[in-house]
C-alpha cells in the first residue's frame, strides 16, 4: 500500500504554505533517512522558463522556499535546479529570479543550478518500454536526496503533468527532443516512464494550490485547486492528482506505464490517503486540446487526420524572433524569417514550441470537428481555424 499525504492550502501565503509543507513531510521515512547534515539535496521544481508565479507555469516560489527551509534547517547542502527545454536565460539566477524563486529564498543558504552545467551521463533503463538508456543530469544522479516539486497542470502531449513527468527535466535536452519524435500519446508516455525509472526521486511534493487547465503546460489558465500533496511514491501521487482533477484511472499513459514498470501504485484502492479527503478538492480541469485523436484507434486516427486536428499557430504581431521555438522543435519545422513560420508538413503537433515561447506568441488552432469532439469553450480548445 502506498501512502499519499494531502492537506488543504488555499493560498500562497508563505506562513500557511510553510506550515502545510511541514505537515505533509512530517515523519516521512525517506526524509528521516536523507535529511542529514552535509547531505547533498536536489530540489527539482517545474521550471519551464523564467515565468512569474501568477502564470502558474512554474512551481510556486513559496512552495520551493518552504521545502528549502526544511532542508537547510537539517544542515543539508541544498541545490535548487532544473533545465528548461530551451532556456532563454544564460544562468540559473536569471531563471530562478524570473520565476520569483531566487527572491523567495534569498535569505537561505541554497545554490541555484541549471542542470546542464553539471553534465549528463548515460543510465540504462530498467525494464524498458521504449528506450534502453537515457542521459540523466549528474546533479540529480549524484544527489543524496532528490525532492521532486511538480506543479499540477494539464499538458498538451501527456494530458496531465505531475511528479513523473516533472523528472523529465533531468533528461538532457537533446534527448528530450529525440523522445518527442516518438510522436504518439502512448509512445511518449511510455518513454517518459522509462526516463523516470532511470532517476527516481525519493520524495515528491506537488504544488496543487493553483494548478493549470486548458492549454498546459504553459499556455493554460491558472485554476484554484487548494491542496498540497506529498508521497514517496510518484506514481501514487500522480494517480491521486489525476483523479482529483477529473481524469480516469487509465487515461494518463505516463502514470499507467510507470505503474506497469513497477515504479509505484496507480490503483486508487491500493493507495492510502493521509490528511484531508481528495474529494473535497475535486475540480474537473479543462482538457488540453492537443492530442485530440489520442483516444482513437490508430487506423481511425489516421483516417480522420485531415478533419480532426489541433495545431500550433504563430502570431506574427507578437513574435520577437528569439528563435526558441526553432531551437526546440523536434521536427525542425520552424524557420525564423520576419517571424517564426511553421511548416505544417513537418510538424508533429508536440507543442514544444508553445511551451518555450517567452511572449506567448504561439497559440493553438483547431479544426471544426476537433472542437466538436473536445466540446470545449473557445478558451479551452484554442482559436478557430483561419
Tell me the closest approach of the beta carbon of residue 329 to ligand SF4, in angstroms.
Answer: 3
Contact letters (x/-) for ligand SF4, 359-378, by CB under 6 A?
A: x-xx----------------
User: Among positive and negative, which fits the CA dihedral 248, 253, 257, 260?
Assistant: positive
- How far apart CA 128 and CA 165 sit, in angstroms, is 16
User: 169 or 327, CB closer to ligand SF4?
Assistant: 327
- How far apart CA 333 and CA 342 sit, in angstroms, is 6
Q: How many residues bind ligand SF4 (CB under 6 A)?
A: 29
Does the protein bind ligand SF4 through residue 288 (CB under 6 A)?
no
Does the protein bind ligand SF4 through residue 185 (CB under 6 A)?
no
User: 107 or 345, CB closer to ligand SF4?
Assistant: 345
| Best CA proximity match to 42, nearest among 114, 94, 120, 98 | 114
- How far apart CA 282 and CA 109 sit, in angstroms, is 37
Tell me the closest approach of the beta carbon of residue 385 to ligand SF4, in angstroms.
Answer: 16
Tell me the closest approach of the beta carbon of residue 363 to ligand SF4, in angstroms.
Answer: 10
- How far apart CA 15 and CA 18 sit, in angstroms, is 5
Instruction: Please count the residues of the chain.
Output: 386
Residue 270 C-alpha cell reads as: 491500493
Tell me the closest approach of the beta carbon of residue 240 to ligand SF4, in angstroms.
Answer: 30
Does the protein bind ligand SF4 through residue 181 (CB under 6 A)?
no
- CA 273 distance to own-chain centroid: 23
What CA–CA distances, in Å, run from 318 to 43, 203, 271, 357, 358? 34, 40, 46, 10, 10
The piece of 47-55, 186-194, 244-252, 349-357 that touches ligand SF4 (CB under 6 A) is 349-357
Q: In 3-state terms, what secondary structure has residue 206?
A: strand
Contact 105, 124 (CB under 8 A): no
What is the CB-side half-sphere exposure of residue 173 using CA atoms within 13 A? 18
Does the protein bind ligand SF4 through residue 179 (CB under 6 A)?
no
- How far apart CA 38 and CA 306 sit, in angstroms, is 58
Q: Which of 314, 365, 373, 381 binds ligand SF4 (CB under 6 A)?
A: 314
DSSP code for 199: S
Tell me the closest approach of the beta carbon of residue 321 to ligand SF4, in angstroms.
Answer: 5
Tell me the closest approach of the beta carbon of residue 343 to ligand SF4, in angstroms.
Answer: 8
Q: Which of 57, 229, 347, 370 binds ligand SF4 (CB under 6 A)?
A: 347
Q: In 3-state terms, what secondary structure has residue 170?
A: helix
Contact letters (x/-) for ligand SF4, 317-346, by CB under 6 A?
A: --xxxxxxx---xxx-xx-x---x-x----
User: 226 or 358, CB closer to ligand SF4?
Assistant: 358
Residue 50 C-alpha cell reads as: 523564467
Tell me the closest approach of the beta carbon of residue 69 to ligand SF4, in angstroms.
Answer: 35
Tell me the closest approach of the beta carbon of residue 316 to ligand SF4, in angstroms.
Answer: 9
- Kindly list the residues in this chain that would bind ligand SF4 in the complex (CB under 6 A): 312, 314, 319-325, 329-331, 333-334, 336, 340, 342, 347-353, 356-357, 359, 361-362
Amino acid at each position: 500500500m502506498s501512502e499519499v499525504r494531502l492537506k488543504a492550502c488555499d493560498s500562497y501565503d508563505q506562513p500557511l504554505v510553510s506550515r502545510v509543507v511541514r505537515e505533509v513531510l512530517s515523519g516521512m521515512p525517506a526524509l528521516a533517512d536523507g535529511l542529514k547534515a552535509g547531505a547533498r539535496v536536489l530540489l527539482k521544481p517545474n521550471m519551464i522558463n523564467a515565468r512569474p508565479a501568477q502564470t502558474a507555469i512554474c512551481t510556486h516560489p513559496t512552495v520551493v522556499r518552504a521545502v528549502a527551509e526544511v532542508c537547510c534547517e537539517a544542515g543539508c547542502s541544498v541545490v535548487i535546479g532544473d533545465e528548461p527545454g530551451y532556456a532563454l536565460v544564460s544562468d540559473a539566477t536569471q531563471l530562478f529570479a524570473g520565476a520569483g524563486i531566487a527572491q523567495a529564498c534569498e535569505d537561505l543558504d541554497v545554490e541555484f543550478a541549471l542542470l546542464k552545467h553539471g553534465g549528463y551521463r548515460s543510465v540504462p533503463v530498467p525494464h524498458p518500454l521504449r528506450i534502453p538508456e537515457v542521459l540523466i543530469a549528474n546533479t540529480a544522479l549524484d544527489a543524496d536526496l532528490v525532492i521532486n516539486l511538480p506543479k499540477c497542470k494539464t499538458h498538451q502531449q501527456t494530458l496531465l503533468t505531475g511528479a513523473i513527468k516533472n523528472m523529465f527535466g533531468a533528461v538532457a535536452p537533446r534527448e528530450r527532443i529525440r523522445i518527442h519524435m516518438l510522436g504518439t500519446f502512448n509512445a511518449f508516455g511510455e518513454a517518459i516512464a522509462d526516463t523516470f525509472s532511470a532517476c527516481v526521486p525519493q520524495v515528491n511534493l506537488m504544488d496543487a494550490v493553483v494548478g493549470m487547465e486548458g492549454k498546459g503546460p504553459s499556455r493554460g489558465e491558472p485554476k484554484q485547486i487548494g491542496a498540497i500533496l506529498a508521497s514517496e511514491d510518484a506514481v501514487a501521487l500522480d494517480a491521486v492528482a489525476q483523479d482529483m482533477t477529473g481524469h480516469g484511472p487509465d487515461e494518463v499513459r505516463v502514470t499507467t506505464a510507470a505503474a506497469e514498470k513497477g515504479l509505484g501504485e496507480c490503483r486508487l484502492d491500493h493507495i492510502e490517503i493521509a490528511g484531508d479527503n481528495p474529494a473535497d478538492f475535486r475540480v474537473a480541469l479543462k482538457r488540453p486540446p492537443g492530442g485530440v485523436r489520442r483516444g482513437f484507434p490508430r487506423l481511425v486516427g489516421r483516417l480522420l487526420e485531415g478533419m480532426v486536428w489541433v495545431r500550433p499557430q504563430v502570431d506574427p504581431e507578437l513574435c520577437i524572433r528569439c528563435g526558441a521555438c526553432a531551437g526546440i522543435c523536434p521536427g525542425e519545422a520552424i524557420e525564423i524569417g520576419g517571424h517564426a513560420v511553421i511548416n505544417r508538413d513537418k510538424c508533429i503537433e508536440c507543442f514544444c514550441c508553445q511551451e518555450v515561447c517567452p511572449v506567448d506568441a504561439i497559440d493553438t488552432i483547431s479544426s471544426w470537428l476537433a472542437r466538436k469532439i473536445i466540446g470545449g469553450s473557445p478558451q479551452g480548445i484554442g482559436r478557430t481555424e483561419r
